[in-house]
Amino acid sequence: MARIGVFVCHCGENIARTVNCAKVAEEAAKMPGVVYALDYKYMCSDPGQEIILKAIKEHRLTSVVVAACSPHMHEKTFRGTASRGGLNPYMCEQANIREHCSWVHESIPEGTDKAIDIVRTLVAKVMRDQPLDVIKVPVTKRCMVIGGGIAGIQAALDVAAAGYEVVLVERQASIGGHMSQLSETFPTLDCSQCILTPRMVEVAQHPKIKLYTFSEVEAVSGYVGNFKVKIRRKARYVKEEVCIRCGLCTQKCPAKKIPNEFNCGLDNRTAIHVPFPQAVPNIPRIDRENCTWFQKGKCGVCKKICPVNAVDYEMEDKIVEEDIGAIVVATGYELYDIAGNDPNGLYSGYGEYGKGKYADVIDGLQFERLASASGPTGGEIRRPSDGKEPKTIAFLACIGSRDNQKGISFCSNICCMYLAKHAMLYEHKVHGGKGYIFYMDIRSGGKSYDEFVRRAVEEDHVCYVRGRVSKVYKRGDKIVLRGTDTLLGRPIELEADMVVLATAVTPSPGVEKLAQMLGIPYDKYKFLSEAHPKLRPVETVTAGIYLAGCCQGPKDIPLTVAQASGAASKVLALLSRSELEREPTVAKVDETTCVACWCCYEVCPYNAIEKKEIRDRKGNLIKMVANVNRGLCQGCGLCAATCRSGSIDLAGFNDEQLMAEIEALAQVR
C-alpha cells in the first residue's frame, strides 16, 4: 500500500501570495494514500530538503509529491532528495502550483482550489508510479568530423589534442575549404594560406587523425556514443600509398583546358590534377568527366609517365565502415549563384547585374583569387576580359542577401568586412585606383572590425556609397552602374572597369541529405539548426551530433574557429565518459499485441523505432514487431499516442497513470 508524503512549497511569496498553502497541505492529507502533508517556505532550500528526508524516514513514505515550481526548475533537485532518502528517484513527482497556478491567478480562493486539484492529480499518478532505473549506454571513444574546412580542421585538432581518435571526412580532394582560397583575412590582413596550411599539415600528420579526402558519408545509423558510419571513398585513380608526388603526370596531361575550380574558373587546369599547390594530401586525382582516357579510351599519358606506377584506371569507389561516438558537422558554405537558379527553386538569380554576361563582373571568391599571391595573376589585380589593370572597381554588397525578392531574407554576415578588405587590398595594389562600395548598412560588429572599415575609408580612400545599384550595362569597355546615393537623395552613375558582387552565403549543396541521414533539423535555407540559439549553440537536438561553422549560418573565420572549439569541447565532455546515463522514461512495445502497422515507425522523430523479427526455434519468421532503441528514444510519446493497438507505453507516463490523473481532475469537489 502506498504511503505518500505531500510537501507544499510557498516559494517565498511566489506561491503563497495567491495560494493558501496550509489549506492545500490540510486537504492533501485527506487524499487517499497520503499519510503525511506539510507546507514550508522554501522546499528547495537545505532545511526544506531535510524536512522531506526526515519525513521519508519517520513516516516510512513510499512516494513523494512536491507541490512547488515547474519540474523544469527543480525535478532533479527533489528526485535527488528522494534518492538520498532511500526511494527510487522516479517515485517522486512534482506538482506545478507556481507557473500553472499562482502566477496565473489573482485571488486566493481560486488559486487554492486549483492548487488542490493539481496536487490531487499528482497524488493519483504517484500512487501508480513504478521504480525505474536509468539506462546506461557505452561510448565509443572516437569522433567523426564531416567537412575539412577551417571549422572541421579546428574541431579535429582540438579533439585529437585531447588524445581521442578523429575521423575527418572531406568531400573534396584536399582539406582546407574556402579559407584556402582567400588572399588576406580581415581585420589584420594576415595571409590566409600562411595561417591555414600549417594546420592542414598538422591534420595530415597527426597520429590520432584518420583523414578521408575525396570521400562522402554514405549512411549513419546508431545513436549517441554508438554511431555506425559508412563512408564512400571515391576513386581518385591514383594510388595514395604509392604516389611520390613528383607532379610529372599533371605536367604532361594533354587535357589542359578545363576550368580550374580552385581559382573559380579564372584559369585552367589539367584532367589529372592537384587542386592547389599546398593541397593536403598533395596527391593528384583524375577528373573522369574531362579525361581523354575515360571519355575516348585513348591517351594514357599519365599512366605511362608515372615513375612508380601509381595511376590505376581500374580503381573503384570503396566503402569503409567506422564506429563513432560523436559527430561534428562542419560542411561549410557555397556562394549563391547570381546568374543561375537554385535547383530547388529556393532562390532566383539576378538579371540586372550582368554576371555571366560580362566577364568583368565577378564574385567575392573570384576577387580573392585575383588578389591572392597563389592565384592566376600572381596577386596582381587584372580584369578577366582583357587582363588590363582596372582603374575603378565597384564593389556591390548584399547581392542576394537581404533581398526577399530573390528569396533570401538573411544577412550574410561576412560581406561588409570582406568588401572593405577587398577595396583596401585593391587600393594597396593599384596606385591611383579608386574603389567604390555600394552598401545598405555597414555591419562591422566584431572586435576591431569597425576600425578596419574606417581605415579603408579614411586612410585608403575607399568611397562608400549608400544605396543599391539598380542596373549594370556596358559603355565601350567600361561598365556603367546606375544607382542612388540615399544620403543625398540623388540618382548617381559610375563608370567602372570591373564589378565585384558580394553574393550571399548559402549552405553547401546536398547538406539536407546529410541532415536527414543524421536526423538533425534545418531551416528553410537549409542551414542546420542548433538546439538553442543562445544556450546550446553548437549542439543539435540529436544527442551526440554537434555543429561548427557556416553549416549553421554565415560566419567569419574567428567565429567559425570559436564555434569549432566549442563543438570540440562538447565532444570531449561526451567521449571522456565511460558510459552515458539516459532518462528511463522511454517507450516500450508490448510484442504480444503489436501488429507491425509501423505507424510508430513513421511518426518517430528520432529514428528510435526499429523493425524486429521474431523467429521460432527453427529460425522461421513468426512475426515482425516494433522495437524501441532505448539509446535513441527521447520519450516524446508520439508513438504511444499513435499506436492503434495500444501496444506502446511510455515508462513513467503510462496509460494507467495518465487516466488516473484525468479521473482525479474530474472528481466533483
Partner 1 sequence: MEILALNPPGSEKDIEAINARLETLDPDAAKSVETCYQCGKCTAGCPAADQMEFPPNQIIRLVQIGQVNVALKSVGIWRCVSCETCSTRCPQKVNIAGVMNTLRLMARERGIQPADREADMFHQAFLQNVRMFGRLFEPMLVGIYNMRSMHLFHDADKGPLLLSKGKLPLFPTSSDSARVRRLFKKALESK
Q: Which residues bind partner 1 (CB under 8 A)?
A: 434, 436, 454, 457-458, 461, 463, 465-466, 482, 485, 487-495
CB of 381 to partner 1, least distance (A): 19
* C-beta closer to partner 1: residue 495 or 591: 495
Q: How far apart are CA 59 and CA 79, in angstroms?
A: 18
CB of 570 to partner 1, least distance (A): 41
Q: How far apart are CA 368 and CA 364, in angstroms?
A: 6
H-helix or E-strand spanning residue 457 = helix 449-458
* C-beta closer to partner 1: residue 41 or 466: 466
* Sheet strands side by side (includes 498-503): 361-363, 498-503, 392-399, 434-439, 463-466
* C-beta closer to partner 1: residue 227 or 464: 464
* C-beta closer to partner 1: residue 385 or 444: 444
CB of 487 to partner 1, least distance (A): 5
Q: Which long-range contacts (CB under 8 A, 24 or more apart) does 418-421 make?
A: 418/186, 418/364, 418/368, 418/502, 419/364, 419/395, 419/500, 419/502, 420/186, 420/444, 420/452, 420/453, 420/456, 420/462, 421/184, 421/185, 421/186, 421/189, 421/452, 421/456
CB of 456 to partner 1, least distance (A): 10
- Which phi and psi angles does 471 have, rounded to 5°? -155, 165
User: Is the Cβ–Cβ distance between 582 and 137 less than 8 Å?
Assistant: yes
End-to-end Cα spacing for the chain: 25
H-helix or E-strand spanning residue 123 = helix 108-126
* C-beta closer to partner 1: residue 489 or 619: 489
* C-beta closer to partner 1: residue 4 or 456: 456
* C-beta closer to partner 1: residue 6 or 453: 453
* C-beta closer to partner 1: residue 160 or 442: 442
CB of 370 to partner 1, least distance (A): 23
* C-beta closer to partner 1: residue 237 or 436: 436
Q: How far is CA 50 from CA 29, 44, 212, in A?
A: 20, 10, 57
Helix, strand, or coil (residue 446) = coil
CB of 435 to partner 1, least distance (A): 11
* Sheet strands side by side (includes 92-96): 34-40, 4-9, 63-68, 92-96
* C-beta closer to partner 1: residue 254 or 445: 445
Amino acid type, 644: R
* C-beta closer to partner 1: residue 437 or 547: 437
Q: How far apart are CA 106 and CA 347, in angstroms?
A: 51
CB of 463 to partner 1, least distance (A): 7
- Which phi and psi angles does 293 have, rounded to 5°? -60, -45
* C-beta closer to partner 1: residue 489 or 533: 489
CB of 554 to partner 1, least distance (A): 25
Helix, strand, or coil (residue 374) = coil
The helix/strand count (H/E) of the chain reads as 17, 34
* C-beta closer to partner 1: residue 69 or 472: 472
CB of 187 to partner 1, least distance (A): 17
**Residue 304: partners with Cβ closer than 8 Å, 6 or more residues away:** none
* C-beta closer to partner 1: residue 139 or 494: 494
CB of 423 to partner 1, least distance (A): 13
CB of 416 to partner 1, least distance (A): 14
* C-beta closer to partner 1: residue 288 or 482: 482
Helix residue ranges, H only, 206-306: 248-252, 292-296, 301-305
CB of 457 to partner 1, least distance (A): 6
CB of 197 to partner 1, least distance (A): 37
Which of 204, 236, 2 lies closest to 123 in space, CA to CA? 2
CB of 478 to partner 1, least distance (A): 12
**Which residue, chain included where needed, has cell 547570381?**
338
CB of 351 to partner 1, least distance (A): 22
**Which residue, chain included where needed, has cell 497520503?**
34
User: Is the Cβ–Cβ distance between 326 and 235 less than 8 Å?
Assistant: no
CB of 445 to partner 1, least distance (A): 15
* C-beta closer to partner 1: residue 162 or 463: 463
Q: How far apart are CA 461 and CA 57, in angstroms?
A: 80
Which of 651, 647, 639 lies closest to 595 in space, CA to CA? 647
**Residue 170: partners with Cβ closer than 8 Å, 6 or more residues away:** 147, 148, 152, 211, 212, 213, 214, 215
Question: What is the DSSP secondary-structure string of 507-573?
Answer: EPTTHHHHHHHHT--B-TT-PBPPSBTTTBSSB-SSTTEEE-GGGTS---HHHHHHHHHHHHHHHHH
CA 97 to chain centre: 37
